[in-house]
Amino acid sequence: MKVIDRKDEMRSWSRSVRAEGKRIGFVPTMGALHEGHLSLVRKSLEDNDCTVVSIYVNPTQFGPGEDLERYPRDLEGDIAKLGELGVDCVFTPCDEEMYPAGFVTYVVQERLTEVLCGASRPGHFRGVLTIVLKLFNVVEPDNAYFGRKDYQQSVIVKRMVKDLDLPVRIHVMPVVREADGLAMSSRNAYLSPEERALAPCLYKALLRGREMIRNGCTDVDAVEEAMKKMLESQPGVRVDYVNVVHPETLQRVEQAVPPVVIAGAVYIGAARLIDNVVVEG
Ligand code: AMP
């Protein structure tokens, strides 16, 4: 497995592979890899001749006071996991490589980035879209794989690809969960054992909302209130948002009629956890 930390080397590797007529799959990550990440990698290995995984904790998607410095890092362990799976290339650039001195150009997307996580993390999606576009430009993949765990991210990336005519196909894969329902996340490492025991409450609340909608409740306020109440009844849990939204526009729907997505974010201790469920039409 090749480990590359320079953009020019990454691009020439990709180009030489493509010159052989091979299709490239790409999985962008921030590392501290878990089964959620690895599910994307396995899918890429299945679909493509070559798979590139990037590991880069992107500073521009963290706000002031967020967890950039303490974000979990385990480059050696990550590389071992990817090697075992049969990944062809790992791209591990440094900040100077991705954001050289004088960097001032960003991707800003309207509307879709202003709701849900975008409302509580201003600038977050500007950082996400900027790094994803840069990585696409360096790796030049045919296919790229994202998790539905970050539902809003998957929607805005697909929108950017469409709006900017990027020559890559986006694939969105299901949420991988722990046995008790908690969505796997590198940030789960922040949870103390007591907080970890509480953490499945977010998924449970989302399932409750989905059940209400499936049972015919169309009152969005009632569904959101019920989920909020469930979460707020747990000491140590602070709700950021729980919203019933349109699957593509991400705007809050007027009536909870499927297809809709229920997305939520909560603070538990030092962790901000997000999750979502789709209510199919
Ligand atoms: P991250 O390292 O958190 O930036 O995540 C890299 C990619 O892995 C993103 O596309 C995430 O949506 C995806 N991912 C993270 N956790 C999960 C999970 N539990 N299930 C599926 N995909 C995930």
pLDDT in tens, 6-65: 999 999 999 999 999 999 999 999 999 999 999 999 999 999 999 999 999 999 999 999
pLDDT band at 99 (very low <50, low <70, confident <90, very high): very high
pLDDT for residue 46? 98
Core vs surface per residue 235-256: b (16+ CB within 10 A) or e: eebebbbbbbbebeebebbeeb
pLDDT for residue 276? 99
Any idea how long the chain is?
281
Residue with structure tokens 């019920």? 226
Core vs surface per residue 197-228: b (16+ CB within 10 A) or e: ebbbbbbbbbebbbebbeeeeeebeebbebbb
In 180-251, the DSSP E strands lie at: 237-245
Burial class of 50 by CB neighbour count within 10 A (0 to 12, 13 to 18, 19+): buried
Lateral strand order in the sheet of 89-91: 2-4, 89-91, 50-55, 24-29, 143-147, 169-173
pLDDT for residue 91? 99
pLDDT for residue 128? 98
Within 8 A by CB and 6+ apart from 9, the residues are none
Protein residue closest via CA to atom 22 of ligand 1: 147
- Look up 124 and say whether it is catalytic: no
pLDDT for residue 40? 99
Helix axis angle for 7-19 and 124-139, nearest 10°, is: 50
Ligand 1: residue of 150, 151, 206 to mutate (most ligand atoms within 8 A of CB) is 150
Within 8 A by CB and 6+ apart from 124, the residues are 61, 62, 63, 117, 118
Q: Which amino acid is at 217?
A: C
For residue 183, give the 3-state DSSP assignment: strand
Residue with structure tokens 């480059």? 75
> Which residues contact ligand 1 via a Cβ below 6 A?
29-30, 36-37, 39-40, 146-147, 149-150, 173, 175-176, 183-186
pLDDT for residue 13? 98
Exactly one of 37, 124, 171, 246 is catalytic; which is it? 37
Give the distance (Å) from ligand 1 centre to CA of residue 192. Answer: 21
Asked, as a colleague might, if the bond just before 259 is cis with ω within 30 of 0, I would say yes
In the chain, the percentage of residues whose pLDDT exceeds 70 is 100
Within 8 A by CB and 6+ apart from 82, the residues are 1, 33, 41, 53, 90
